[in-house]
Amino acid sequence: MAMTPDALAAVAEWSWLEGRRRALGGFWTFVRGRSVEQAMAAFGADPATARAMTLDGSADEFAGREDGRRRVLPWARFGGYGAWTFVLEDMTDLGMRAVAALSAGTQAAYVSWTPKVTYEVAFYEHGRCVTAFEPMMEWSLRGDEPERFAQQMRALGIMPRPDDWRTGAYPNGLVHMLAFLTLVAGVRIPEEVAHGPLLTCALPHDTA
């Protein structure tokens, strides 16, 4: 199944992620029309500790740190592009608890991936989950309006799962999810923004 021109253009927005080494797991949160400061507050981050750091610099300082109980010490990079503010976590998923509140009165979304090579994308609106799913896994589709973006899913070859899903020229799971958010809501992060200086700081422990 060939992707539509609009879908191919959405995939191309994230082509810089193809083949790039990244954290084994991560959670990227997006919210429309909120400030970086509002996003930091939702994550319990202390703005006074945040510094503008590049991707490489922040990874050197924060990646792989653990506490005495061998729990990953959470940290995140905060920034914005266009109408969307984003929060990029490596190896933690604190955004899962923040995304619904962030979407109150607006829209929010997340993409996540794990060391087990599982992926998930979700879109929220006014405090509720509109749709969430794992690419090409129809059984995973859920939310208050799971079929709202059926046209865009079909255009990207996400659902229904195409016959050539094993052999077709489809992007990796992370790019596939991000392209979905580009197609339905205009979410973008150019490579130079993602790799460049972003406000970066440690986050409070998840003690739930």
44-69: pLDDT as tens digits:
999 999 999 999 999 899 887 877 77
The predicted pLDDT at position 207 comes to: 38
144 φ, ψ (degrees, to nearest 5) = -70, -30
Q: Per mean pLDDT, which range of 37-51, 58-72, 189-203 is the poorest?
A: 58-72
All residues at 6 or more sequence positions from 197 whose CB lies less than 8 Å from its CB, including other chains: 52, 53, 54
Picking from 35, 59, 10, the residue whose alpha carbon sits closest to that of residue 194 is: 59
pTM listed for this prediction: 0.92
All residues at 6 or more sequence positions from 113 whose CB lies less than 8 Å from its CB, including other chains: 25, 26, 119, 120, 173, 174
All residues at 6 or more sequence positions from 48 whose CB lies less than 8 Å from its CB, including other chains: none
Q: Per mean pLDDT, which range of 9-18, 72-81, 154-163 is the poorest?
A: 154-163
Residue 208 has pLDDT above 50, yes or no: no
All residues at 6 or more sequence positions from 131 whose CB lies less than 8 Å from its CB, including other chains: 122, 123, 141, 142, 143, 144, 145, 146, 147, 148, 149
Q: Terminal CA-to-CA distance of the chain, rounded, Å?
A: 43
| Whether the Cβ atoms of residue 37 and residue 102 lie closer than 8 Å to each other | no
Look-up: residue for tokens 């973008």?
A: 188
Query: What is the dihedral sign for C-alpha 186, 174, 71, 59?
Result: negative
Rounded to whole angstroms, how far apart are CA atoms 191 and 201? 21
